[in-house]
Every structure is written in structure tokens, then in C-alpha cells.
A and B are shown apart, each in its own frame.
Chain A
Amino acid sequence: MRIITYFPMKVITYFLCWAALASAADTDSTATAKPAQTTTTQKHWAYEPVKRPDVPQVQQKEWARTPIDGFILARLEAKNLQPSADADRATFIRRATLDVWGVIPTPEQVKAFVEDKSPDAYEKLVDRLLASPHYGERQARRWLDLARYADSTGFENDQTRPAMWRYRDYVINAFNQDKPYDQFIKEQLAGDEIAPGNQDVMVATGFLLNYPDNHNSRDLIDRKYQITTDITDTVGAVFLAQTVQCARCHNHKFDKISQKEYFQLQAFFANLAEVNNIPARIGPQETEFRKQRSAYQEATKETRAEMKAIVDSIREEGTKYYHERYLTDSRESIFKPKDQWTALDRWVNHRVDMVTSDDSVAAYLYVAGQDKNSPEYRPEYAPKFKRYEELRQQLAKFDKLKPESGTDTYAAMTELGHPDAPPTYVFFGGNHDRPLDEVQPGFPAAIAGGEQPVITPTATSSGRRTALANWIASARNPLTARVFVNRVWAQYFGRGIVSTVSDFGKMGDKPTNPELLDYLADQFVNNGWSPKKLHRAILLSSVYRQSSDYREDVNQADPENKLLAVFPLVRLDAEEIRDSTLAAAGKLDTDTVGGPSVFPPAPKGLDAGNKWQVSKDPKDFNRRSLYVFTRRSVPYPMLESFDMASPQEVHSKRDVTTTPLQALTLYNDQLTFEWSQDLAGRLIREAGNDEFARIDRLYQILFARNPTQQEKNTLLAYLDNHEKIVQTQVPNKDVPLPRGVDVSGISNPLRESAFVDLVHTVLNSNDFAYRF
């Protein structure tokens, strides 16, 4: 029942490209030198249409509360395995609250559910959980993993993308509004074509825009190719669970996707460009942002005006100098008169405009006004350079007045108002310097079964992505619904019915229960692609309600627990650990949903300069982890330790690794220690001075259960001993005390300090870090 499988040092080797395939025992023997043309008569299971299987007949009808259970139980009965008994209610509500909200429940919520005698107690609980905005927050985080979401571009300069949080909020809201998944897909792939000018839909294209980018790139032809590649591979993995990227350099070695078909997929995105300065609807956030910006602008008005005047005086030559930094083929586009622009030239020039600022133009002065060895040097520019430098330094003094986050614009991917797209070619070996035949947008034949896109250009866009979105978000597509329901299933049970959640190809794992997968997919589509109905069905199933208690018979018969006779326990993920600790401390901000990302304090020693400037407002420190700024080059250390998603590419599955660095984070970090002090204070407030009562309360808060007598004895013995250690080793006045209580009321600071350490230690225990 391990949660992550390592594949150390496989004996077999695949020569993936340009070499004969070294076929091994567990590879498909049909793969030969030209695998894309493999002719197996039987269609790959995932490309078959979704069937509507009958719910199997089972003997223990009373256990099978829902149709899902029938599919599970049938396989258990075939193996002579009993399902596990229901988990107790307290365990169940902790499990469900963590799974649906990503945070532990309060003792009051636990008590209310445990004591609810009504016949529909579970339904009421599940509906309450699904109706909360925390459901959307939790589901959004999972989706953002797939969308490689970040608040910055990555690479060396790693610029902030100040408006990306609007996409994050779009995803939260989509789940909370139970936006049908087919619509969710269409908006993310083609929101700008479906509803041009509609901010709420346009921001959905942030899905496409989340690619890592380097504004500093001098090779824009290559940059465009890298961006298109990222988008194509992401779309293939996220919606279709296809490893299309394997077909970029050559025909896919295992799946029926040819290199030509790969570039036909790229062609859907050929005309796509980032637009990051669209005026946003004005709400409180925008008003506040403008207020702060006005203050900055007012204070710096004259400085900036003088700087602009200097730049204006050299703008033409400065711009030309700046443009010369680009490589040969990029320069061809940049220096071409606008009336001769092709669609590709248009893209390149839009890109150059986007990344060029007055400062990039002024960089010319560093050479022309300072560097006497440069051919550009002109003595008359020396004063300009000198003055510009003075002004720049003067301006920097006002940086603290700048709004620290927020924006009054939004970002989207669009086609810049033009329906004509640059041509797409097959590239030999994936090398964009070696174009072969031109291709048109098209679907991989093996998946689409011959269906080809019907593309209707609009006045302002090629219409290509709408055609793609319509095909992906269609009940006819054999992959889309299966892939999504499988991802949701994996969220609850630790592994998908297809365990390779982003690979439904031949090299991926086969479904452990194909009928259940099809049942869920079919129901999902018939329920109007409603994610909430899918979640509800799983949450109310008997299989989800089972206890996770160890069973020797299951461990023998099904050691990987593929049949789910026991509920699989799992370590909390990075966000759950931080959010639940904050919640236990009584500090988690559960009221604020959405808004610009925040910068909580990082451990001492992280010197990321302006890439991590801690938020001024301490309220920001207690926001849910979902709102912590995702800086591609500076992952937030506390979350990074616990296997947070990497935003560099599609992140399909949270690993569970166990490392000493995690122990250092949870035990040594200043914040987690302070939260322990807060939690200790909360226990004193809520349970008074009786130490048994406090320990009960501690266990109720963290584990949704009471401690056993053995645990109580252990803790009390610790307290007696630890008080002495504190006394002998720490000067009395410095002992850390519980926070949030009146210190003057503390009669024995040593004992209370030992209690803080007790709380801190229990917070580090396995029982907290896991959900059972």
C-alpha cells in the first residue's frame, strides 16, 4: 500500500529515438522501427467510445449504497475479500474535510456530525462541504497543478505576472459555481474567441498563458516555438492524458500519434499571443491599486517626466540599438515595414513591443553616453547618461510607495485581432530551423476516429481553438470525460483507476476497473459535466466511507490495495499541512477568497532580494497556501519541502517523499513554532488549566479524536520531565510561552513553556501529517 512508486535503475532501456526499440518483457512487442504505423487490429482501450456499463450484481447489497460500490464490490467478491467497515464518524469528517476543503475540521464541526442522529447526516455533511467556497479553493489548487500556474515568468529575470491571480480566481469560482466541465474547457482554450471582450471569460485563457517565459530572449522565432510547444504538450496531457510531446521529434514510439499530427495540434495555437494590459473592470481591488499607484505617480511625476524626455530624445536610435540585440531571423521581422508584415512578423513585433520598456531603450545611453570604447559613444550623450542615472536612482527611492501587488488590468491569450495565422510546418527532428511540409490544424486520427476540425474564422481570430475546444469538450471524445473523472478519483483514493493519470496511452497503466471508469465518465457527461455531482457521488459511496485500519488479509491478497478493500491513508499535501497548522493555531484566514497573491515570511537565510519581499500587511501571512505567491525561481520553502507542485510544467500527481528537510521545516521553522505557541494559548483559553482537558482538546483539534490512556500517560510523563529540562537549561525569563493568553495569569511559566513544547511535538507527529 505504498503511495509512491519509485522506479530505481530499470534494467531495461528504451532507445526512444532514431534507434531500434529495445523491446523488453513489459513493452509492447508490436513496437518496431516504425511504431507510429503499428497495425494492431484492436483499438487501444482509451480510444474506444465510453460505454454505459450495467452496475454489477453483488451479494452484499446492503454494503453497496451507491452504484460506484457495486463496481468495487464485484471485484472484491470475486477475490473473496470483504470491504472494510465504515470509518468512525470523526475519522470520516476529518478525512472528508481535508479532501474537500484541504484543511482539518473544527472540534465543533466534528462533534455536530458525530452527534447527528438524522438518517441523512452524511448527505448533509457532504452538501455542506461542497457548498463552501473552500471546496473551490481546494479543487482549484489541484487544477492549478495541471495548469502549471505561477505568478511569475520563470527563467533568469523571473518577472512578476501581476494579473495571473485573476486566472487562479477564475478557477476557484468555476468550481464553486459548478461550472460544467465542458464549458470550463472551452473557456480556457478559447475564451477570447467565444466571448471577446468579456473579462470573466477572457481570463480563463490564463490556462494557455501559464507557460514559463523569458522576456529577455533574443531569439523570438525559437521563443514562439517553445511557447507553442509548451501549450500543445500541456493541452495534450491535461485534457486528453496523451503524451503528445513524444511525437515532436519523430512519430510517437508507442501511441498512434504521428509527428505530422503533433504539428497539426501545434497549428491550433499558431496565432496565439499574450496580451497582458487589458483594462479590467473596476472593483475594490482595482480602486485600491489605483490609489496606491496614484500616490507613487504623484510623488515621482517630475522625475519620470524628465526621464521620459531624455528617452524621447534618443528614442529612435535607442530603439534601433535595442532591436539589434535580436538574432538574425527575429531582426528580419523587426526591421520590416509594417505594411509588409506577415502573421509571423506581427507576432514577433507584438512580442518585442510587449517586452520593450523605456528602460530598455535607455540602456543605449549606457553605451552611447558612457562607454568610450564603444563605436556608439557620442560625447554629447555623456550628460544625458549621467542625468538619467541620477534620475533612476532618485526614482528608486520611491519604490516603497509602489503598490506591492494588484493591478487594474487583466491578461489573456488572443490572436491580436487577426484571423490569419502563421503557417505551421513539420520540423525535422523537432528542430525549427529545419521545416518540412506545411500542415493544417487537425486531430490525431486514432483518437478522433476520422473527425476533423470545422474551423470558422471570426473577424478577429482564426477560430482554430474554438474548433479544438469543441472537439475536446465533447461527449464523443473518448478521453476527455474519462481523464477528468479519473483525476477526481485519484484525488480521493491516492491513485487513479488509471494510475498514470496523465497518460492514457499504451505505455500508461491499464484501468484497474474499466467498467467503473466508464460508469463515472458516462454519468459525468449525463449529469451535465457537473464536477460537484461527481464529487458528491464519490463522497457518499461506501468505498469512500471505509475505515483505513490495517487488515492483514487485504495486505496479503492485494498488497497495493488496487481493489480498495481498505481506505488508503495518505500524507497531507504541502498546502494541507500549512493550512491545517494555521487553522489549529486559530489563525487561518478562512474568510478572504481570491485576490492578488501574498508573500508570507520565509525562513531566515533565504536571500531572494526583490523576488521575495514579505507582504507589509501581517494579515497576508495567514492566508491559505493557495494564495501564496508562486515565484518560479523561489518556491516558498515551507511548501516546497512537502512536495508542492512544480509550476514548470504540468504537475499530475503530488509525490509523497519523506525527508529530513521536512522535519527541519516542521520542527525548527520559526513560524511553526509560533503557531504552536498560538495553539497552546488556544488550548488554555478553550480547556482551562486542567492538563488532561487541554490534551483532550489538542487531540480533538489536530486528530478529531481523544487521546488514548497510553498517549495521555506518555504526554503527562513528558510534561513532568520536560519542565525540569526547561528549568535546568533555559534562563527563566526567556522561556517561550503560550500566545494569546494573559501572561500575567500564568503561575508556572516553566510548566507552560513545557506545554508549548508538547503541543509543538504533537503537531509534528504522524497522526497530524496523515489523513486516515
Chain B
Amino acid sequence: MSKKLSRRQLFVNTAAGFGGAATLSMLLPGGGLLSTPALAAEFTDPLAPKQPHFPAKVKSVVWLHQFGAPSSLDLYDYKPELIKRSGEDVPASFLKGIKTSTQGGLGKLITFGRQWKQYGQSGSWFSDLVPNIAQHADEIAFIKASTTIGATHDISVLKLNTGDLRPGRPSLGAWITYALGSANRALPAYVVLYSGKREPPAGSVNWSSGFLPAIYQGTAFRPGPNPILDLAPPDGLKAGQRDDLDLLNRLNQLSAARHPENTEFLARLNSYELAYRMESAAPEAVDLTKESDAVRDQYGLNEDITHDYGTAILRARRLVERGVRFVHIVSGPIDGAGRGEDRNWDAHENLPLNHSLNAKAVDKPIAALLTDLKSRGLLDSTLIVWTCEFGRTPWGQSGDGRDHNPWGYTQWLAGGGVKAGYTYGETDELGVQSIGKAVDTYDLHATVLQLLGLDHLKVTFQNHGRSERPTVVYGDVLKEVLA
């Protein structure tokens, strides 16, 4: 007796039994029938949980993309020499091998009178812009020799998320979803959150599945109680939805019985039930009224400046709790941080104002996330990545701004498997370029995958006859930052 025949038999029985939803439930993952190995092998659910290559340190990643590129030199990368030489020209020796813009003049080296302090046992440096994150000094592993390609945000943001300067490759979150599947089918495995009034510029290419099937792309969660587009049925439909789905199941079982060879029919039947569960699971997952006042306050939900980002971060914690693999948070523009308008971290002028507002918006919520995850015992199974498309120059632009710096900037990791309280790498004494082994986006991606139990060389997908992997042809796991 072949397994195909038995499948057919199954369908015939199911259809003849005509039990509607009651019969259907037996077909769902977790139900008895599908756990039969022969059947499970045939029902290729592309989001079924998959085993990592080796034991994972973490289950989820929170990817904190600081859009617009904060100045490492004003947050984490303490440079006494820069302070000393503030007001001088940049010595030519520091510019060797790099191409710069001269708009606004290749300004003098500049600092803004920041207060710097060492924190914790590790003695890591933090400026006065991030006093709350500083309290977590001993949980953070800094990468102070980050480098990338690009002089404009668009291509560097794309590289940060997908590895390429041209759109089309899968984002890191999509690769992870592809490799590990979903741990909670009632929610998307890869969720994108953002703060601010608008959707992030360049949009979905930065959470795209590229050449991977679209099922692995990030799902944008919008502000408001129904975070997914079309999550709620039109008003007139709500009452009879369960009844509709039961009818749909009956109709679809008839077609599934006619075509036992087609696993998609079964998957499609299943997808409506999942959607139905998602309709309640997703709003529940982002319902912050379920949080205590103390927690809401901790994340800054009661202050204007931190409200939006804090909302995204607290949502992220709830999603991590519910098994979402990859939460990708894009920081949005802050009112008043630009020329009389909202602006993200991109401080080409008036950096002191810009960064004080942008830092304020994220510092408290991120610190709250670290504290909260820890107190819930989740920090060990979660990886937090503070990341940005590049940093900013030590020389001034337009007087009190800073230009883009792709040659040397700071990112950090915290959470499970991370060598806490450690600093890897450095920039030169003015903070222009990384010295020693630089850490590219590919290395960061390889390291994140490693912590999820994935060998970045072995996560592969055939595209146009080529075996593709997340790190293209590059990438070294940054072993130094692993515990």
C-alpha cells in the first residue's frame, strides 16, 4: 500500500464523513493525522518549525535599526583625541583610502561637549545621550569596528538588511524564517515594526524575501489595534465568519478530495483557519492595555518623546514572548529634530538638537526592553541588535552637523550567547576608520545566524542555478563577541 493511496483514502473518508470543521481539525498540524510521518513528509508546510544546525543560543532576534545613522562618536565611541583636536583640520593621513563629500566644506573636527562616563564592571563608555542604556553596560557586547559600503542611506540600509547594494536579495529576517520556520503559526514569524508617522522609506525591499518564496518576507505591523492589513473582516461579516469558514472548509474538502496529489489544497484549507486564529492572536499580541501601568511607564508610553518607539519596543517584547522569530524595528523621525520638521538620526546639521531628541526617544524604551526581558527570564533566549546603516564623521558638516561615515562605527549585541560587557574592535583615534579586523554587515549577519544555531554557510537556496546563502560569498562569525 503506497502512502499516496492511503492519502487518497484519507480524503475520501474525510469527504464522505462530511464532518465540517470537526473533521478538519484532525488535519491541522498537531492533529493526529498529520503527525503520521508519511503524511507529514508529504504535506510540505514551508513554515513548519525546522531544526537548527547546532543548538541555538537564542530563539528570537530583535533587530533595532536606528534609521538615519546615529553618530557613534556621540553615543558610544569615546575619543579623547577627537575632543583634544576639536576645531582642527582632519589630518590627511586619516583620510587615506576613502572617498568623501565636501559639501558644507570638509569641516573641522568637532565635538559637542558631551559628558562621557564609564559604566558597570566592564567600564564601557557611554555619553550622556544614552543614560538608560548605559545602565546595561555589562549586558552589552560592542562592535566598534563596523564598516559598510555606501555614501547614502538607501543603498547602505539595503546592505544592512539584505547584504546587497541592489534590491532583490532576501533580508536577514527572511533567511531566518526560511531556515527555522515559525514557532507560532497564529502570528507571522517575521514582524516589522516602526515608529513615527510614516512607513519607513524604501519600504518592503528591506524586509523582502527577495528570491526566497514570499511566505518568508516580513509582515509589517501597523500602528493601531489591528496591526496587519485586512486583519479584521468588514463589519457586516464578523457575525457569520465562523459559519462562512465552516462552509468554505466543506467546499474545499470536496476539491481536495478530487485532487489528493495537490498538497496546496490542504495548505489552503489550513491557511483560512490560521488566518482566523491570527485575527484574534495579532491584536492580542499588540494590545498594550494588557500591560501594567508600571511596565507602560517603564517603556516610556506616558511621555510624548518616547511614546511611539516605546510602543514598538513593548510590542516587540510581547511578540518575542509569543515565539516570533525576528522582530525588525525601524526607528522613525522625531518631531522637531530637523529643520523645523521631523527627522530621524540623519543629523547633517544641528546634531546636538537632533541627537538629543532621537536618543531620548529610544534610550528609555531600549533600556526597558533589556530590563524587562531579563526579569522575565527571556534575555537569555533573545538577541538584541542595535544596528545602523553607517555612522557619522568626526568632522563637522554645515557647522554643527556630521556627514555619513561608512568606514568605522559602533553597533552592539545583547542577550543570549553574547559575551556581555565586552568591546570588540576600535576605530582610529579620531573615529574616522576601523582599525584591525573590520566587521562588515555580512559578519554581523553570520554572527546573528550563529546565535540562532545556524551555520551561515549551510543556509542555502537554489536561485537561478546558483546555491545562494545569506552572506553571499562573505561573512565571518565574530567569535570574539560570543560567550
B237:A760 contact, CB within 8 angstroms:
yes
Chain B nearest CB, measured from A651 CB (Å): 9
Contacting pair B465 A734 (CB below 8 A): no
**Residues on A with beta carbons closer than 8 Å to the beta carbon of B265:** 766
Interface residues on A, range: 35 or more
A505 to B466, CA, bound (A): 10
B-contacting residues, A689-745, CB 8 Å: 710-711, 714-715, 718, 721-722, 725-726, 728-730, 734-736
Given B5, B202, B248, which contacts A633 in the complex, CB threshold below 8 Å?
B202
Complex Cα spacing A159 to B397, Å: 27
Which A residues are in CB contact (< 8 Å) with B208?
Answer: 646, 648
CB closest chain-A residue, reference B8: A552
Any A CB within 8 A of the CB of B274: yes
B416 proximal to A (CB < 8 A): no
> Would you call B239 and A726 a contact (CB within 8 A)?
yes
Q: Interface with A: B148-156, B321-329, B359-367, B440-448, which one?
A: B148-156
The answer to whether A726 touches B465 (Cβ under 8 A) is no
* Residue interface bits B205-217, CB-to-A below 8 A is 1, else 0: 1001010011100
B interface footprint on A207-242 (CB within 8 Å = 1, 0 otherwise): 000001010111100100010011000000100000
- Contact stretch, chosen from B83-91, B99-107, B120-128, B136-144: B99-107
Is A15 part of the contact surface with B, judged by Cβ < 8 Å? yes
Find out whether the CB atom of B215 lies under 8 angstroms from the CB atom of A659.
yes
**Closest chain B CB from A765 CB (angstroms):** 4
Task: For residue A698, give the distance in angstroms from its CB to the closest CB of chain B.
Answer: 12
The docked-state distance in angstroms from the alpha carbon of A508 to that of B150 is 33
In the complex, the answer to whether B153 meets A156 with C-beta atoms within 8 Å is yes
Segment at the interface with A among B29-37, B69-77, B453-461: B453-461
Interface segment among B220-228, B296-304, B306-314, B371-379: the answer is B220-228
Q: Which of B151, B203, B247 contacts A718 (CB 8 A)?
A: B247
Write the B244-268 contact mask toward A (1 if CB under 8 angstroms, else 0): 1001101110111011111111011
Q: Does A657 contact B (CB under 8 A)?
A: yes
Interface membership of A324, Cβ < 8 A: yes
| Contact A662 to B244, CB < 8 A, known contacts A254-B465, A633-B202, A714-B251 | no
Query: Is B232's CB within 8 Å of the partner chain A?
Result: yes
Q: How far is the CA of A635 from the CA of B204 in the complex (A)?
A: 8
> By the criterion CB–CB under 8 Å, are B278 and A373 in contact?
no
Q: Contacting chain A: which of B54-62, B165-173, B287-295, B428-436? A: B165-173
A573 touches B (CB below 8 Å): no
- Closest residue of chain B to A325 (Cβ to Cβ) is B103
**C-alpha spacing A164/B105, complex, angstroms:** 38
Task: For the complex formed, measure the closest distance between the CB of A29 and the CB atoms of chain B, giving whole angstroms.
Answer: 16
Among the listed A321, A503, A660, which residue makes an inter-chain contact with B278, where contact means beta carbons less than 8 Å apart?
A660
Contact of B272 among A217, A230, A667, A715 (CB under 8 A): A667
Q: A324 CA to B151 CA in the complex, in Å?
A: 13
Which residue of chain A lies nearest to B158 when distances are taken between CB atoms in the complex? A155
Q: When the two chains form their complex, are residues A508 and B465 in contact, meaning their CB atoms are under 8 A apart?
A: yes
Nearest CB of chain A from residue B252's CB, rounded to whole Å: 5
The digit string for A481-502, where 1 denotes a CB below 8 A from any CB of B, is 0000000000000000000101
* Pick from A331, A569, A710: contact of B262, CB under 8 Å: A569
Q: Tell me, yes or no, whether B44 is within 8 Å of chain A by CB.
A: yes
Residue of A nearest to B404 (CB): A218
Which of A56-64, A301-309, A363-371 faces chain B? A363-371
B87 to chain A, nearest CB (A): 13
**Neighbour of B400 across the interface among A328, A373, A502, A711, CB < 8 A:** A373
Q: How far is the CA of A331 from the CA of B102 in the complex (A)?
A: 9
Q: 1/0 per position for A732-772, CB-CB distance to B under 8 A?
A: 00111000000000000000011001101110111101100
Q: Is A454 at the interface (CB under 8 A from chain B)?
A: no
Q: How far is the CA of A555 from the CA of B259 in the complex (A)?
A: 11
Complexed CA–CA distance, A663 and B229 (Å): 12
Question: Could you tell me if B213 and A633 are in contact, using CB atoms closer than 8 angstroms?
Answer: no
Contact B251 A767 (CB under 8 A): yes
Q: Given the complex of chains A and B, what is the CA–CA distance between A650 and B244 in angstroms?
A: 39
Q: Does B233 contact A (CB under 8 A)?
A: yes
In the assembly, what is the distance between CA of A160 and CA of B41, in Å?
46
| B102 lies within 8 A of A324 (CB) | yes
User: A6 contacts B44, CB within 8 Å?
Assistant: yes
User: Taking CB as reference atom, which chain A residue is nearest B260?
Assistant: A550
A9 located at the interface, meaning its Cβ lies under 8 Å from any Cβ of chain B in the complex: yes
Contact across chains for B473 and A326 when beta carbons are under 8 A apart: no
Residue B25 at the chain A interface, CB threshold 8 Å = no
Q: Which range contains the number of B residues in contact with the other chain?
A: 35 or more
Contacts of A16 in B (CB 8 A): 466-467, 473
Within 8 A of B (CB), among A249-304: 249, 254
Question: Are A156 and B2 neighbours in the complex by a CB distance under 8 Å?
Answer: no
Residue of B nearest to A327 (CB): B99
Answer whether residue A121 sits at the interface, using C-beta atoms and an 8 A cutoff: no
Tell me whether B437 is interfacial, beta carbon within 8 Å. no
Question: How far in angstroms is the closest Cβ of chain A from B218?
Answer: 12
A620 CB within 8 Å of chain B = no
Report whether over half of chain A's contact residues are helix, strand or loop; otherwise say mixed: loop
> What separation, in Å, do the CA atoms of A316 and B17 have in the docked complex?
82
How distant is the Cα of A664 from the Cα of B273 in the complex, in angstroms? 10
CB A500 to nearest CB in B, in angstroms, measures 6
Least distance between A374 CB and chain B CB atoms (Å): 4
Chain B residues whose C-beta falls within 8 Å of the C-beta of A226 in the assembled complex: 165-166
- Using an 8 Å CB-CB cutoff, how does the interface string of A660-680 with B read, 1 for contact, 0 for none? 111111011110010000000
Q: Does chain B have a CB within 8 A of A652?
A: yes
The CA-CA distance from A754 to B239 in the complex, in Å, is 11
* B46 contacts the other chain (CB 8 A): yes
Closest to B227 in A: A605
Given contacts A219-B99, A657-B213, contact A711 B251 (CB under 8 A): yes
Q: Is the CB of B460 within 8 A of A249?
A: no
Min Cβ gap B15→A in Å is 9
- CA distance in complex: A753, B243 (Å): 14
Q: Check if A3 is an interface residue, CB within 8 A of chain B.
A: yes
Decide yes or no: A555 and B261 within 8 Å by CB, A156-B154, A374-B399, A730-B236 being known contacts.
Answer: yes
- How many angstroms from the CA of A635 to the CA of B206 in the assembled complex? 13
- CB pair A761–B461 under 8 Å, yes or no, is no
Beta-carbon contact of B155 and A665 below 8 Å: no
| Interfacial chain A residues near B462, Cβ < 8 Å | 7, 10
Q: Does A195 contact B (CB under 8 A)?
A: no
Does A398 lie at the interface of the complex (its beta carbon under 8 Å from any beta carbon of B)? no
**B465: contacting residue among A503, A715, A735, A761, CB under 8 A:** A503
Are B202 and A373 in contact, with the CB atoms below 8 A? no
Chain B residues within 8 Å of A254, by CB: 465
Collect the chain A residues with CB atoms within 8 Å of residue B279's CB.
664, 668
A contact residues around B214 at 8 Å (CB)? 640, 643, 655, 657, 659
Q: Could you tell me if A371 and B167 are in contact, using CB atoms closer than 8 angstroms?
A: no
For the complex, is A344 an interface residue (Cβ under 8 Å from B)? no
Given A324-B103, A726-B239, A765-B248, A374:B349 Cβ within 8 A:
yes
Nearest Cβ on chain B to A250's Cβ, whole angstroms = 9
Q: Is the CB of A734 within 8 A of B464?
A: no
Given A603-B229, A764-B248, check contact A500 B465 (CB 8 Å): yes
Asked whether A766 lies within 8 Å of B251 as measured between CB atoms, the reply is yes
Q: Does A78 contact B (CB under 8 A)?
A: no
Kindly state whether residue A310 has any CB partner on chain B within 8 Å.
no
The answer to whether A17 and B100 touch across the interface, beta carbons within 8 angstroms, is no
Tell me if A13 is interfacial: C-beta within 8 Å of chain B.
yes
Asked if A632 is an interface residue, CB under 8 A from chain B, the answer is yes
Contact B226 A605 (CB under 8 A): yes
* CB of A200 closer than 8 Å to a CB of B: no
Q: Is there contact, CB below 8 Å, between B236 and A608?
A: no
A-B residue pairs, 10 tightest by C-beta: A633-B203, A373-B399, A729-B239, A503-B465, A507-B465, A663-B275, A648-B167, A736-B236, A649-B168, A17-B473
Known: A633-B201, A661-B228. 15 other contacts (CB 8 A): A3-B264, A13-B467, A214-B155, A371-B399, A503-B465, A656-B264, A660-B278, A663-B271, A667-B233, A667-B237, A673-B233, A673-B237, A725-B243, A726-B240, A766-B256
Can you sample 7 A-B contacts with CB below 8 Å? A12-B460, A218-B101, A632-B205, A634-B199, A646-B210, A661-B188, A736-B234
